[in-house]
Structure 1
Amino acid sequence: WEEEEEEANLTIEESWQTLLDDPASLTKRQFHQQEAIWELLHTEATYIKKLRVITDLFLSGLLNLQESGLLTEVEPAKLFSNIQEVVRLHTSLWNQVMVPVLEKAREARAPLDPTHLHGGFSTFGSRFQPYIRYCMEEESCMEHMRTLLKDNELFRTYVTWAETKKQCNRLKLADMLAKPHQRLTKYPLLLKSIAKKTDEPSARDIVSSMVVTVEDFINSVDSQMRQRQEQQKLATISARIDSYEAVEGSSEEVEKILKEYNHFDLMAPMRGTSPEETRQLHLEGALRMKEGKDSRMEVYCFLFTDLLLITKPVKRVEKVKIIRQPLLIHNVVCKELKDPGSFVLVYLNEFKSAVAAYTFQANSATQGRSWIDAICNAQNQLQKLHTQEILRQQDILKRCPEEEEEEE
């Protein structure tokens, strides 16, 4: 019964023009503005119907099969994420924001007023919180679905059956699961279109403020997704590191003491940067290294945002071991040498005194130059991140006294 009632709410007029007694009396600009508002409302109703196909057909169908003991190995959350929360938020947005806009126009037989949307879109960030999880998990859900379609014949049969249903409108499950992210990115475009066609300055400002709120949220989601991807990349690289053998003990007793400290966590946060920043890999590759008067050795180096790792491949496994202390990039001096493709890294301590020097030889002058450039770029980027973090911390400190004063 509840579903029918909600479904009825989605029934809207064929056109905004039927809301008015005399739509022809509108100016061309007003006409275009009404078209833009109607597109937002109409596409929202259509979108909710598509979401319901996911929950009422695909998800419910799966749950029904599982009640009968079929496809119990499929975890709904791994396939559909929090789609039900997404449906709830849109049903709420529709009932609390969109319907009142329509009702006011119906009752007054007047044009749709875009400012009446403000209440709903000014709280976009809190309303649309479920999208953070959905967007974060979208890729893994898609991958899980592809794996199931490939490996599970019964699941494939079930999805194929569901996709033939009329309400799917020839869309595949993958297409539907991509809809939420697509819809999210459409809101700024729809609202900008309304703002562009709104002549009244205060109304236009209100719609423009809604655009800013929505874009801020989308940027935040994108930022979190990028961070997640970077962390996943970093975790993959971290898994390749077999051991930390930068320091050797002189005896068994010393080895026991060293054991506690002979490790390195690549996933640990970077020092002096925002917690939101993730260490990124800038360059990796094989080089020949010479330290002091020792003969050259084959090494494999990883250059990250804030550090350089010197490693050696471990035989018979696709892993590496760290053979020198991790070099913090801001303590590194990099100089090109006369031999083509060679460069030296001088490592400085807190007193700016040299504590180590490593000469590297690349396979070619071009490759050597690419390492030098990459190290220089990483240092510049890290400096920017440090500066940004200092400014961020200063901003926090500035705001603290202001907030205390307000409380008083």
Structure 2
Amino acid sequence: PLGAPLDSMATGEDVGVSKVFAELLSTEKTYVDDLRVLCDSFLAPVRSSGLITKEQETTIFSNCQTLQRINEELLRALELSEAENADHCECTAAAFATLSPYLRAYSTYCANFVQATELLEFLRHRNQALDALLKGAEAEAGQTTGSMLIKPVQRLCKYPLLLRDLVAKLPDGPQREAISHALDDIRTVAEQVNERVRDAEGRARLLALAEMLDRQDLVVPARSLLSEVDLEAQQLGGSARGSMGNRGEHRLWLCSDVVLLGKRARGHHSHSHSHSAHTRNTPPKASAPCFGLVAMAPLTKAALESVSVSTSGHTVLRLVTSDVKEHMLWIKDAEVAASLLTDFSKAMAQKKAVVARLELNKTMSSEIDSSTVLTPRAGRSRVWRGLGRVAALFGADAQTAP
């Protein structure tokens, strides 16, 4: 045991700890009840009605039934602390240590949430029968469909706050250490979920960007849109007017592996195909201003640096791309400029790390002699020699062939 039951303690500090435990348990019970309502009173009747497709159902309700099962188990584990002579800290730490890996299932739900709410609103406007069914469920539950759908997102954010409060109130010792480990576990899960959400949002924004620029080739696996900034830009060199081009409104898009600069096209509107591809499965997308692409380069062949602050208060940056184009960029908001530079540096570092791993893999592959076709007699020994060279690259002892 990590310590005596908290009921046997009498200090004000221990009373504060007991209150946090009580809040954690009571709110978990309420949350599990809400998940049951979401699954039984909203998902189940919608599914049995046949008013929406399976794809639409998955988009709206995602994996809420999986979350229900996970949190029912978490609640059962937390309720063990209510047993006589039970150690609250030990039970709580054990519950999160066991269930934290399964809470990663929230990444699927949270990454899908924005799309879910947009599709739900779209379908309710187009499908009166569905809207009537959901209104009945809302009247019975006393809550709107949207407020039910957001509860898993809110609950995952609540766990780190409660455990952090608990750690702050516990004195140094085994109990605090155990809860600190639980807090580290749940923070790791929350960060993984947040990363998944950011990736999903980036991919959705990338799709919108490809549609805006009419460049479907921009949509490739593992690419996401990190940030976009409206600014003024001016090309350096190669201008018929002299060494400087015209300064005008542009937009810069920073992706995970490329940087793009587009110039706003005057008198143009979004392409008509922006709306022609909509079906009853997806809500319509808002129209976007049209831009013409003036520069695009891989991050490994691009540079973005701060130059100065202009007399008008704009932060001036310099963008150099692989096509030997240089642009001066004027950004009105200094914080936006600083954030763009930070995002660019992080994306560049991550891209270089990926390239380094690919080079390592290439080196490893070249170390294995695969130029000779292996025969049944010679093949076995050559495979073992090849595996030995791979092990040597990692500093491990080469395994001897039997």
Give TM class, smaller chain: 0.5 to 0.7
Question: Unaligned 5+ residue runs, structure 1?
Answer: 1-19, 244-263, 270-274, 361-366
Q: Which amino acid aligns with 2:81?
A: V
Question: Unaligned 5+ residue runs, structure 2?
Answer: 271-289, 361-390
Tell me what 1:363 maps to. Answer: none
Q: Which amino acid aligns with 2:178?
A: I
Which stretch of structure 1 is more off in the superposition, 56-65 or 180-189? Answer: 56-65
Tell me, in whole angstroms, the C-alpha distance in 1 between the residues paired with 2:15 and 2:305. 65
Tell me what 2:12 maps to. Answer: 28
Within the candidate set 26, 47, 52, 1:63 is matched to 47
The 3-state SS of whatever aligns with 1:309 is: strand
Tell me, in whole angstroms, the C-alpha distance in 2 between the residues paired with 1:402 and 1:115. 44
1:159 aligned to 2:134?
yes
Tell me, in whole angstroms, the C-alpha distance in 2 between the residues paired with 1:59 and 1:386. 43
Going from structure 1 to structure 2, the CA distance change for 1:239 and 1:405 (only over 3 Å counts) comes to same
Q: TM-score, normalised by structure 1?
A: 0.66
Tell me, in whole angstroms, the C-alpha distance in 1 between the residues paired with 2:294 and 2:152. 47
* Map 1:179-194 → 2, pairs under 5 A: 179-194=151-166
Contact kept in structure 1, 2:264 and 2:291, CA below 8 Å? yes
Tell me what 1:330 maps to. Answer: 302
Shift of 1:188: 1.4
Tell me what 2:66 maps to. Answer: 85
Q: Which amino acid aligns with 2:293?
A: I
Tell me, in whole angstroms, the C-alpha distance in 1 between the residues paired with 2:174 and 2:397. 29
Residue by residue, what CA displacement relative to the aligned partner does 1:127-158 show, whole Å, maximum 9, x if unpaired?
11220111011111112222233332212211
Contact kept in structure 2, 1:32 and 1:197, CA below 8 Å? yes
Tell me what 1:143 maps to. Answer: 118
Shift of 1:100: 3.1
The 3-state SS of whatever aligns with 1:128 is: helix
Tell me, in whole angstroms, the C-alpha distance in 1 between the residues paired with 2:213 and 2:261. 10
Q: Which amino acid aligns with 2:201?
A: Q
Going from structure 1 to structure 2, the CA distance change for 1:291 and 1:178 (only over 3 Å counts) comes to same
The 3-state SS of whatever aligns with 2:170 is: coil
* Map 1:390-401 → 2, pairs under 5 A: none
Name the larger-Rg structure.
Answer: 1
Going from structure 1 to structure 2, the CA distance change for 1:79 and 1:41 (only over 3 Å counts) comes to same
Tell me, in whole angstroms, the C-alpha distance in 2 between the residues paired with 1:387 and 1:131. 28
Residue by residue, what CA displacement relative to the aligned partner does 1:83-111 show, whole Å, maximum 9, x if unpaired?
1011011122223x224333xx2xxx325
Q: Which amino acid aligns with 2:265?
A: P
Tell me, in whole angstroms, the C-alpha distance in 1 between the residues paired with 2:225 and 2:205. 10
Q: Which amino acid aligns with 1:37?
A: F
Which stretch of structure 1 is more off in the superposition, 36-45 or 195-204? Answer: 195-204
Contact kept in structure 2, 1:330 and 1:379, CA below 8 Å? no
Shift of 1:183: 0.9
Tell me, in whole angstroms, the C-alpha distance in 2 between the residues paired with 1:377 and 1:292. 30
RMSD between aligned residues: 4.5
Contact kept in structure 2, 1:334 and 1:372, CA below 8 Å? no
Going from structure 1 to structure 2, the CA distance change for 1:83 and 1:211 (only over 3 Å counts) comes to same
Tell me what 1:238 maps to. Answer: 210
Tell me what 2:25 maps to. Answer: 41
Contact kept in structure 2, 1:36 and 1:190, CA below 8 Å? yes
Tell me, in whole angstroms, the C-alpha distance in 2 between the residues paired with 1:27 and 1:368. 60
Tell me what 2:379 maps to. Answer: none
Shift of 1:219: 1.7
Tell me, in whole angstroms, the C-alpha distance in 1 between the residues paired with 2:235 and 2:395. 56
Contact kept in structure 2, 1:121 and 1:210, CA below 8 Å? yes
Tell me, in whole angstroms, the C-alpha distance in 2 between the residues paired with 1:321 and 1:285. 14
1:98 aligned to 2:47?
no
The percentage of aligned residue pairs carrying the same residue is 19
Tell me, in whole angstroms, the C-alpha distance in 2 between the residues paired with 1:202 and 1:63. 48
Going from structure 1 to structure 2, the CA distance change for 1:234 and 1:101 (only over 3 Å counts) comes to same
Contact kept in structure 2, 1:188 and 1:211, CA below 8 Å? yes
Shift of 1:126: 1.6
Residue by residue, what CA displacement relative to the aligned partner does 1:291-317 show, whole Å, maximum 9, x if unpaired?
535246687643233534355738754
Shift of 1:344: 11
Tell me, in whole angstroms, the C-alpha distance in 2 between the residues paired with 1:407 and 1:184. 46
Q: Which amino acid aligns with 1:307?
A: V
Shift of 1:179: 0.7
Contact kept in structure 2, 1:308 and 1:326, CA below 8 Å? yes
Which stretch of structure 1 is more off in the superposition, 122-131 or 205-214? Answer: 122-131
Going from structure 1 to structure 2, the CA distance change for 1:45 and 1:331 (only over 3 Å counts) comes to closer
Going from structure 1 to structure 2, the CA distance change for 1:120 and 1:266 (only over 3 Å counts) comes to same
Paired residues in the alignment total 336
Tell me what 2:380 maps to. Answer: none
Contact kept in structure 1, 2:234 and 2:246, CA below 8 Å? yes
Residue by residue, what CA displacement relative to the aligned partner does 1:4-45 show, whole Å, maximum 9, x if unpaired?
xxxxxxxxxxxxxxxx9x968734333332222122122211
Q: Which amino acid aligns with 2:105?
A: P
Q: TM-score, normalised by structure 2?
A: 0.66
Residue by residue, what CA displacement relative to the aligned partner does 1:350-391 show, whole Å, maximum 9, x if unpaired?
xxxx95566x7xxxxxx8464999788755653454446667
The 3-state SS of whatever aligns with 1:122 is: helix
Going from structure 1 to structure 2, the CA distance change for 1:189 and 1:401 (only over 3 Å counts) comes to farther
Tell me what 1:6 maps to. Answer: none
Tell me, in whole angstroms, the C-alpha distance in 1 between the residues paired with 2:158 and 2:105. 17
